[in-house]
């Protein structure tokens, strides 16, 4: 589903923030909040909490990736005001992927120099995204069939059958980001991709109760 208007983008941002999984900070041991608006993925017991499946260590990696991608999407809290500020500068203003997508969609005319700056900024952010997401791709590489099954189930439950995240597992090992670089040609597409990925990761984490408990135990040992 494409984002076509400023109003639609704003609504998607609100929905994304309001339905995010409540994940623990480094010293928190709270349980995840299960949202009825976010149907869980059917993760079999041979995968949840097993050494070669999704365990506490893998949950830690997924949480890190989810948080870092959300920083790209919405920015990071200002240390004083606590208001989220975009990590990227454009036209002497702080921007995040969401605000850049909004600018891209709403601007009827973009000057040539601004187009070039946006193009370079898009490449910079996609390169940053690839660094963040590489651990997830490496983790999924050995179980592509299972991962694709989870992604397909998620996309069907959320009516996102055409989501670009499904293209990842169709690529050959070592070339997973080829389709990403090809498909992400605008901030609108990047925002939608990030939204789908964070939604999938949130649901996957919530769907692995045994792995989640293992993660909480790991957190306790760190104290």
Look at 35-39, 76-80, 123-127 and tell me which has the smallest mean pLDDT: 35-39
Residues 46-67: what's their mean pLDDT? 92
Residues paired with residue 85 on neighbouring β-strands, in sequence order: 76
Contact between 198 and 16 under an 8 Å Cβ cutoff? The reply is yes
Alpha-carbon Rg for the chain, nearest whole angstrom, is 18
Asked if residue 202 is part of any domain, the answer here is yes
**Coil, helix or strand at residue 197:** helix
Look at 18-32, 53-67, 101-115 and tell me which has the smallest mean pLDDT: 18-32
For the cut 80, the answer to whether the pLDDT of residue 87 exceeds it is yes
| Longest distance between any two alpha carbons in the chain, whole Å | 55
Structure confidence by residue, pLDDT tens digits, 137-150: 887 777 778 888 99
**Sole residue written with tokens 């076509």:** 4
Asked if residue 34 is part of any domain, the answer here is no
H/E segment holding residue 89:
strand 88-90
Asked if residue 39 is part of any domain, the answer here is no
Task: Kindly report the backbone phi and psi dihedral angles of residue 2, in degrees, each rounded to the nearest multiple of 5, phi listed first.
Answer: -80, 155
Structure confidence by residue, pLDDT tens digits, 124-173: 999 999 999 988 888 777 777 888 899 999 999 999 999 999 887 778 88
Q: Which domain holds residue 126?
A: 6-13+44-216
Structure confidence by residue, pLDDT tens digits, 175-218: 889 888 999 999 999 999 999 999 999 999 999 999 999 999 99
Number of domains, the chain: 1
Query: DSSP code of 90?
Result: E
Asked if residue 204 is part of any domain, the answer here is yes
69: left (phi over 0), alpha (psi -120 to 50) or beta: alpha
Asked if residue 116 is part of any domain, the answer here is yes
Task: Kindly report the backbone phi and psi dihedral angles of residue 171, in degrees, each rounded to the nearest multiple of 5, phi listed first.
Answer: -85, 155
- Interatomic CA distance for residues 194 and 186, integer angstroms: 12
Asked if residue 32 is part of any domain, the answer here is no
Task: Kindly report the backbone phi and psi dihedral angles of residue 84, in degrees, each rounded to the nearest multiple of 5, phi listed first.
Answer: -70, 135
Buried b (16+ CB within 10 A) or exposed e, 108-143: eeeeeeeeeebeebbeebbebbeebbeebbebbeeb
Query: Residue 111 contacts by C-beta under 8 Å, 6 or more apart in sequence?
Result: none
Contact between 105 and 5 under an 8 Å Cβ cutoff? The reply is yes
């Amino acid at each position: 589903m494409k984002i076509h208007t400023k109003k639609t983008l704003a609504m998607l941002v609100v929905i994304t923030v309001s339905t995010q999984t409540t994940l623990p900070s480094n010293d928190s041991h709270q349980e995840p909040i299960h949202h009825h608006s976010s149907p869980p993925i059917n993760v079999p017991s041979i995968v949840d909490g097993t050494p070669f499946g999704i365990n506490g260590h893998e949950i830690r990696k997924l949480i890190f990736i989810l948080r870092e991608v959300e920083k790209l999407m919405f920015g990071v809290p200002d240390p004083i005001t606590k208001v989220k500020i975009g990590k990227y500068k454009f036209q002497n203003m702080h921007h995040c992927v969401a605000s850049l997508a909004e600018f891209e969609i709403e601007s009827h005319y973009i000057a040539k120099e601004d187009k070039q700056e946006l193009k370079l900024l898009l490449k910079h952010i996609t390169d940053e995204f690839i660094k963040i997401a590489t651990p997830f791709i490496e983790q999924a590489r050995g179980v592509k069939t299972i991962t694709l099954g989870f992604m397909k189930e998620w996309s069907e439950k959320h009516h996102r059958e055409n989501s670009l995240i499904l293209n990842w597992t169709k690529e050959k090992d070592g070339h997973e980001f080829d389709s990403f670089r090809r498909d992400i040609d605008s901030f609108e597409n990047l925002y939608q991709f990030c939204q789908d990925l964070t939604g999938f990761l949130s649901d996957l984490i919530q769907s692995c109760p045994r792995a989640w408990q293992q993660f909480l135990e790991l957190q306790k040992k760190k104290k």
